[in-house]
Amino acid sequence: MPKGRDNRTTQDSSGQQGVDMASKAEKIVAGLGGIDNIVEVEGCITRLRTEVKDPSLVDEAALKATGAHGVVKMGSAIQVVIGTDADPIAAEIEDLM
């Protein structure tokens, strides 16, 4: 395969992954009750650690629909178990804040 062709494929895949990550971040924000409900967000190896203003606005089913493996609620602290995408998704959410 020509050298340039490999580079284009990598760039295309990378761009698509970025779009998917942004879309997933937006869906997670909605599941957390919207951007105005999020006080803090931090990525941790496999979890998205957040603090929310109103925990009753968190929609666990919506978060799981994004591919989350689980949701842990401890008062206003919400952990969304999403796997190794936690850090990039946290960065996307921080960009929205």
Q: Which residues are catalytic?
A: 44
The C-alpha atoms of residue 79 and residue 57 are separated, in whole angstroms, by 14
User: Within 13 Å and on the Cβ side, how many CA atoms surround 8?
Assistant: 5
Residue 75: closest CA among 54, 46, 61 = 54
The C-alpha atoms of residue 29 and residue 12 are separated, in whole angstroms, by 26
The C-alpha atoms of residue 59 and residue 78 are separated, in whole angstroms, by 11
The residue type at 18: G
